[in-house]
Amino acid sequence: MTTLRLRAFTDDDVDPAGRLLALRHAAHRRREPLLDPRFEDPAAAAAAVRAAWCRDGASGAVAVRGGETVGYLVGAPKADPVWGDNVWVDSAGHAVAPGASEVARDLYGYAAQRWADEGRTAHYVLLPAGGDGGPAAGGADALVDAWFRLAFGLQHVHAVREPLPAAPAPRPPLVVRPAERADVPALGEIDVALPAHQARSPVLSGAAVPTVEEQTTDWEDTFGDPRFPTWVAQVPGPDGAPQVVGAAVGCALTQSRTHEGLALLPDAGFLGFAAVLPGARGLGAGRALGEQVLAWSGEAGYACCVTDWRATNLLSSRAWPRLGFRDTFWRLHRTVGH
């Protein structure tokens, strides 16, 4: 076999990398047709690679065999204290030739030395979700398997499904309705429920948990923004009066800061937030709220609806697949030095 040669990524590698990314994306779309078809065009894929390469602090590697580029890897840091001293390989930052998934390990071996030398010990990579036939198929499963064997684990899931034509009626006595300004104190409490849940095991997120007062103030300032329609779920309280126990927010996917490049699906609504107070879980409120956002996505004319969740969040990682969301991208994570 011709020797594999590794070297640093340069400007001249953008177009060959784009061709590899277009092939990867075409295979990905055969499994999930709701993904953006534009990136099957090598020129569009190359533009996405160029955007990744032009980030501040970007660096990476290229693998060449017999004069042909068979893989590339580009990562860059994100200025966010939550992620630590980091480097991110986003959706356009990595691809290998069909059947060459093992090359991913060589690419990371080359690029990661610089990242470690720079003190960047938190490494993240966004890959097409597995599920196309296992490592022997040479597709997404094989690529994910290569990264798992680099000590990466699954941290976060991006997913998509078609909208609903209408929201099914919730199970009585549950009611789902548009939020009103009078709901703001309840929305502030519910807004804390999600980060508080993720601060506990098994997620154990390091992100700060805001106070109810902070979130209530934020809702007071932003309530009624038409870009972010909001619904609440209510049940009868102990005194029989309606009690708000959950909430969900929809919006255009373009409003999300965590979906970009190939992960920014075209013409997509976004289930951007959903949470239920701990004492009300198990009543079907989360599902009913999710169905409401799916129905709104259809009413708003979106072709699909996207959401995402932490893989270690036991509630989300079970609720959203049960609602029909299909994995599109997986964020893998490794902390170097352990």
As a residue count, the chain comes to 338
- Which helix H or strand E contains 308, and what residues bound it? strand 304-310
CA distance 162 to 36: 14
Q: Is the separation of the CB atoms in 294 and 271 below 8 Å?
A: yes
CA distance 293 to 228: 11
Token pair 């569009």: residue: 44
220 φ/ψ angles, rounded to the nearest 5 degrees: -60, -35
Q: Please, which residues have CB within 8 angstroms of residue 219's CB and are 6 or more apart in sequence?
A: 184, 187, 188, 191
Query: Hey, what are 155's tokens?
Result: 């941290």
CA distance 189 to 198: 15
Instruction: Tell me the per-residue pLDDT of 22-55, one tens digit each, with 9 for 90 and over.
Output: 999 999 999 999 999 999 999 999 999 999 999 9
Model confidence band, residue 258 (pLDDT cutoffs 50, 70, 90): confident
| Eight-class DSSP state of 207 | S
Instruction: Tell me the per-residue pLDDT of 259-273, one tens digit each, with 9 for 90 and over.
Output: 999 999 999 999 999
Indicate whether this model's pTM tops 0.75: yes
Determine the 3-state secondary structure of 334 from DSSP.
strand
Is the preceding peptide bond at 173 cis, omega within 30 degrees of 0? yes
Model confidence band, residue 123 (pLDDT cutoffs 50, 70, 90): very high
CA distance 194 to 277: 9
pLDDT at 132 over 60: no
| Residue 130 pLDDT | 85
Instruction: Tell me the per-residue pLDDT of 178-223, one tens digit each, with 9 for 90 and over.
Output: 999 999 999 999 999 999 999 999 999 988 999 999 999 999 999 9
| Residue 93 pLDDT | 98
